[in-house]
Chains A and B, each alone.
Chain A
Amino acid sequence: MRTLIVDDSSFLRQYLRQLLEKMDIACEEASDGLAALEKLREAGGYDLMLCDVNMPGMDGLACVQQLRTAGLHPEMKVMMVTTEADHSFIHQAFDNGADEFLMKPFGPQSLREKLVLLGFPIAA
């Protein structure tokens, strides 16, 4: 399984990567929406994109919208990683084509639950 982590905070990318790799999930990173789209255009094969909302340049909402409008990798799941402050944007995110959301701060357990919810087989 391969994931793309999109977040402007290198701390968060590192944190997510540590959690995911412990679950045997491969990770790649992008620091904003534009970089993520570029990666997605170049190469496919991702099963999941974990996407922050508030980012400089292109934010998470616009990123998802462009991704879905362009019809890039329709099979790939998108999970928004948000905070309470972004909560009002959740509905818009779903409208734009996100599949799930994960509220910060989160630990391994809630991440695992959300992954299972999305239908990924995660070893305990």
Chain B
Amino acid sequence: MDELTKEFLAESLEGLDRMERCLTELESHPDDAALLGEIFRSVHTIKGTTGFLGFKRLETLAHRGENLLGALREGRLIANEEIISGLLQLLDGLRGILQLIETTGGEGERKTDDDHVLIALLNGLAEGGPQKPVAPMVKAAEPVDAQVTAQAAAAADKTLRIDVEVLNRMMNLVGELVLTRNQILQTTLSADNFPKLARRLDAVTADLRETVMQARMQPVGQLFGKFPRMVRDLARTCGKQVRIEFYGQDTGLDKSLLEAIKDPLTHAVRNAVDHGVETPGDRLLARKPAEGVIKLKAYHQSGSVVVELIDDGAGIRIPRVLEKALERGLITEQQVASMTEREVLQLVFLPGFSTAATVTSVSGRGVGMDVVKLNIEKVGGSVELESRAGVGTTLRMRVPLTLAIVPALIVQSGGQSFCLPQGALAELVYIPRREAAQAFERIGDAELYRLRDRLLPMVWLDRLLTLDGHEERMQQETHGFYLAVLESEGCRFGLIVDDLLAPEEIVVKPLSAVLREIGLFSGATVLGNGTLALILDVAATAERAGVRAEVEEPVATASVAVAELGSRSGSFLIFEGAGEGASSGFRRERMALPLEAVERIESVPVGQVEFAGGKALLQYRGELLPLEDMDGTLLDLAAKGSATLATVLICRRPGPLGAQAGQRVGMVVRRVLDVSNGTLMEEDVEVCDQRLAMVKEKLTVVHQGFLGPLQSQPAQRQHWGAVA
């Protein structure tokens, strides 16, 4: 495609965007001459220029539109709803053809194109006769629609309008930069003025960076432009009355980020019209004006841009969300009881969740809020939802100002430097070597660190990357451990590194294919000292290390944990259980049972134990007691002679849940160690299918079968088993 045609496409599409904005405004000001002039010009320019390129279809359509618009402009016709709808159809038709040209290079001449229907409509409107609506007939670009949207980088999106002043400033700064470089080339390091030059270079670079970033900033309003039309059309389809209002349209956002939030925002607006705002009847019943209002607000807040979507609809119905989440198996009945309203709202973002009672053409086709959240998080942003029944819903999207330069903490591991994006960094912890042994807990294969009563999975960066010399360093290091607490996509973990270096603003460079394949890095950068550093992809690291996402929001969890501290504390019986390979005496683990579940502790000669169908049974006070022998303790003891005493805890399963509830069971253990007070840990730290308790400052596995009904797991999980 030659330059001229490209220019034509970009200009025409831009004109149509303007026309779209004006048309929606025209609805409320049907005789605004300036608006009419602008709309007329958009079509007029297309009509005037398309002839040069020989796009006949486009020209004919634009010509008819121009006639109608001419009549409006000269006051022979007044824009009514019918005419505006007709003009919107014209707009779609023109845009369809332009997109067709963009993708195929030609405007197409297919029989299925209903240009003549549209032309007839426009002619009819221009003559002032009442027209039958010819609703969904603008299919100009339908066959290639998918392609067109896939080719998101349309001609208009690839160009950028920059304030000449910004460009001039950039040029000045580049000039300064060149001057400073020249001076530096002529001086030596030892020269007196070198520090001065270095400072100058620093200042100029910072200014230049600032200016270039400013040049990439585009007003968010660009994104809002198409919403009035969309909302209008959607509201009609849904039989609703909705008005959209904008605030802070001038708020600047990096061009690439603007592109990134376009789809999520569009989806969210559709959602708000379709599910948020009620029908006029329902609204009147709720003593609200029939017309719903959707507000889009954009503003800067501490280095990020916040875009809020506020509707004054019915709000999200909590019971409905819970019902749906249960139905979809996203949560369990047990979880429901302990969830706060805020946590319930977060469920909306889970994949596969959609509360729309019926699938409509507008939304509710499987693409849900999870996609919105995912897309925003992909660019380093976050999403929040607030809702009040009867008052409305607020969706808050927070995105960084730019992607190209990010603040990061430089760390060292295995002699190499790595960058941790500050956005994912929650805190840094130094653990002195002498405290390490106590602070690190080992449950099976997982290592955990107890940070203010929350368990944090630990990930050793050098081990994860299989860097050389991990063991040697473990031996040699005299200082303690640096733990960077990272959070991403609901995962929280501690990354252990050898050393923390300075925080730096790093310039993100794309990775070569070879490095990208490792899957743990999101980019690379050159550090101040000239060395290369890879930027860690925190989410991917968590996944690789097997850290599971927490179900609840971190903040909420903490409060739940605190609230439940009282109720979950209690006495525990501690005994020696066994992990993997226990029968050979390799590993013995401390385990605990809630004391209330244990009725008695009995010592029984092994010879009294009967075996039936592979199961161990014990005659106990007239009833046949099933024995749970988790790791072959019985066999070990039996080998020493039938008179050897086995320690059996007589326990009662808590009722009234499940068939086994209330039943007595005998638990064969190696040794009873102690009885002590302890606290059951919150559930989200389930590194494995077991519950943990803090007893006497040590982490202890709690047997699942004997916890209260709320905590108990399905029967098949009731094994002691080794930690996964």
Are B8 and A11 touching (Cβ within 8 A)? Answer: yes
CA distance A64 to B66 in the complex (A): 25
In Å, the complex CA distance between A104 and B18 comes to: 23
Across-interface contacts of A9 in B (CB, < 8 A):
11, 45, 48-49
Complex CA–CA separation, A85 to B43 (angstroms): 12
- Asked whether A85 lies within 8 Å of B51 as measured between CB atoms, the reply is no
Let me know if B612 is at the binding interface, CB within 8 A. Answer: no
A14 touches which of B3, B40, B44 (Cβ 8 Å): B3
CB-CB under 8 A from B7, the residues of chain A are 10-11, 14
Decide yes or no: A11 and B49 within 8 Å by CB, A18-B4, A56-B38, A85-B70 being known contacts: yes
A-B contact pairs, 20 of them (CB 8 A): A8-B41, A9-B11, A9-B45, A9-B48, A11-B7, A11-B8, A14-B3, A14-B4, A14-B7, A15-B49, A54-B41, A55-B41, A56-B37, A56-B41, A83-B44, A85-B66, A104-B52, A105-B48, A105-B49, A105-B52
Q: CB-nearest residue of chain A relative to B69?
A: A85
Q: Are B11 and A11 in contact (CB under 8 A)?
A: yes
Question: If A15-B52, A56-B38, A104-B52 touch, does A8 touch B66 (CB 8 Å cutoff)?
Answer: no
Q: Work out how many contacts link A and B, with CB atoms closer than 8 A.
A: 49
- B residues with a Cβ closer than 8 A to A are 3-4, 7-8, 11, 37-38, 40-41, 44-45, 47-52, 66, 70
Q: Which residues of A contact B52 (CB under 8 A)?
A: 11-12, 15, 104-106
Whether B66 and A105, one on each chain, are in contact in the complex, defined by CB atoms closer than 8 angstroms, is no
Interface residues of A in 1-29 (CB under 8 A from B): 8-12, 14-15, 18
Contacts of A18 on B, CB cut-off 8 Å? 4
Report whether A8 and B45 are in contact in the complex, using a CB–CB cutoff of 8 Å.
yes
Kindly list chain B residues whose C-beta atoms are within 8 Å of the C-beta of A15. Answer: 4, 49, 52
Do the beta carbons of A85 and B44 come within 8 Å of each other? Answer: yes
The 10 closest A-B pairs by CB, nearest first: A105-B51, A105-B52, A11-B8, A11-B7, A83-B48, A104-B48, A11-B49, A11-B11, A9-B45, A14-B7
> In the complex, how many angstroms separate the beta carbon of A81 from the nearest chain B beta carbon?
9
CB distance from B268 to the nearest CB of A (A): 33
Determine the residue in chain B with the shortest Cβ distance to A81: B48
Residues of B within 8 A of A10 (CB): 7, 11
Give chain B residues whose Cβ lies under 8 Å from the Cβ of A104.
48-49, 51-52
**What's the Cα separation between A55 and B3 when bound, in Å?**
23
Q: How far is the CB of B57 from chain A (nearest CB, A)?
A: 15
- The answer for the CA separation of A83 and B37 in the assembled complex, in Å, is 16
User: Provided the pairs A56-B41, A105-B52 are in contact, do residues A83 and B4 lie with their beta carbons within 8 angstroms?
Assistant: no
Residues on A with C-beta less than 8 A from B44 are 54, 83, 85
Output the least CB separation between B13 and chain A (Å): 12
Instruction: Categorize the interface residue count of chain A.
Output: 10 to 19
Closest-by-CB residue of A relative to B54 is A105
CB distance from B156 to the nearest CB of A (A): 13
User: What's the minimum C-beta distance from B9 to chain A, rounded to whole angstroms?
Assistant: 9
What separation, in Å, do the CA atoms of A56 and B44 have in the docked complex? 12
Instruction: Closest B residue to A12 by CB, please name it.
Output: B49
CB-CB < 8 A to A54: which residues of B? Answer: 40-41, 44-45
Chain A residue with minimal CB distance to B52?
A105
List, in ascending order, chain B residues with CB within 8 A of A106's CB. Answer: 52
Q: How far is the CA of A119 from the CA of B675 in the complex (A)?
A: 112
| Most chain A C-beta atoms within 10 Å of own C-beta, residue among B37, B41, B49 | B49
By a CB distance below 8 angstroms, the chain B residues around A83 are 44, 47-48
Chain A 84-107 interface mask (CB, 8 Å, partner B; 1/0): 010000000000000000001110
Of chain A, the residue at the smallest CB distance from B14 is A10
Q: Look across to chain A and name the residue whose beta carbon is closest to the beta carbon of B18.
A: A56
A36 to B44, CA, bound (A): 21
Closest to B47 in A: A83
Q: Chain A CB within 10 Å — which of B3, B8, B45, B48 has the most?
A: B48
A11, A12, A14, A83 pick with most chain B CB within 10 angstroms: A11
Q: Which of B41, B48, B70 contacts A12 (CB 8 A)?
A: B48
Bound Cα distance from A119 to B8, whole angstroms? 31
- What's the Cα separation between A9 and B49 when bound, in Å? 8
A15 to B2, CA, bound (A): 12
CB distance from A107 to the nearest CB of B (A): 8
| A residues less than 8 Å from B3 (CB atoms) | 14
- Beyond the given A8-B45, A85-B44, could you list 20 further A-B residue pairs with CB under 8 A, ordered by the A residue number? A9-B11, A9-B45, A9-B49, A10-B7, A11-B7, A11-B8, A11-B52, A14-B7, A15-B52, A54-B45, A55-B41, A56-B37, A56-B38, A56-B41, A83-B44, A85-B47, A85-B66, A104-B48, A104-B52, A105-B49
For residue B37, which residues in chain A have a CB less than 8 angstroms away from its CB?
56
CB of A91, distance to nearest CB on chain B (Å) = 17
- Residues from chain B with a CB closer than 8 A to the CB of A55 are 41
Which B residue sits closest to A106, measured CB to CB? B52
Using Cβ atoms and an 8 Å threshold, which residues of chain A touch B41? 8, 54-56
Give the shortest distance, in Å, between A123 (CB) and chain B (any CB).
Answer: 23
A61 to chain B, nearest CB (A): 14
Give the shortest distance, in Å, between B337 (CB) and chain A (any CB).
63
Write the nearest CB–CB distance from A47 to chain B, whole angstroms. 24
Alpha-carbon gap, A54 to B66, bound state (A)? 13
**A48-77 contacts to B (CB < 8 Å):** 54-56
B263 to chain A, nearest CB (A): 29
Instruction: Tell me the smallest distance from the CB of B526 to a CB of chain A, in Å.
Output: 39
Nearest residue, chain B, Cβ from A55? B41
CA distance A40 to B535 in the complex (A): 55
B48 surroundings in chain A (CB, below 8 A):
9, 12, 83, 104-105
Q: How far is the CA of A14 from the CA of B44 in the complex (A)?
A: 18
User: Distance (Å) between the CB of B502 and the closest chain A CB?
Assistant: 48
CA distance A8 to B8 in the complex (A): 12
Quote the shortest CB–CB distance from A35 to chain B (angstroms). Answer: 13
When C-beta atoms are compared, the residue in chain B nearest to A104 turns out to be B48
Closest approach, in angstroms, between the C-beta of A68 and any C-beta of chain B? 24
> Smallest Cβ distance from B215 to chain A, in angstroms?
20
Contact residues in A for B38 (Cβ distance below 8 Å): 56
Complex alpha-carbon distance, A76 and B411, angstroms: 70
* Cα A18 to Cα B40 with chains together (Å): 27
Question: Considering the chains assembled together, what is the distance between the CA atoms of A98 and B709 in angstroms?
Answer: 93
Q: How far is the CA of A56 from the CA of B48 in the complex (A)?
A: 15
Q: For the complex, what is the distance from the CA of A55 to the CA of B47, rounded to whole Å?
A: 14
Q: How far is it, in angstroms, between the C-alpha of A12 and the C-alpha of B70 when the chains are bound?
A: 22
Q: How far is the CA of A106 from the CA of B70 in the complex (A)?
A: 23
Distance A105 CA – B46 CA, assembled complex (angstroms): 11
Q: How far is the CB of B415 from chain A (nearest CB, A)?
A: 55
A27 to chain B, nearest CB (A): 15
* Bound complex: CA A117 to CA B49 (Å): 24
Q: Which residue of A lies closest to B66 (CB)?
A: A85
Question: How far, in Å, is A109 (CB) from chain B's closest CB?
Answer: 13
- Quote the shortest CB–CB distance from A12 to chain B (angstroms): 6
B51 touches A11 (CB 8 A): no
**Minimal beta-carbon separation of B18 from chain A (angstroms):** 10
Across the interface, name the chain A residue whose C-beta is closest to B34. A56
A15 to B66, CA, bound (A): 22
Taking CB atoms, residues of chain B closer than 8 Å to A105 are 48-52
Nearest CB of B to A105, in Å: 3
Cα distance A12–B50 in the bound complex, in angstroms: 10
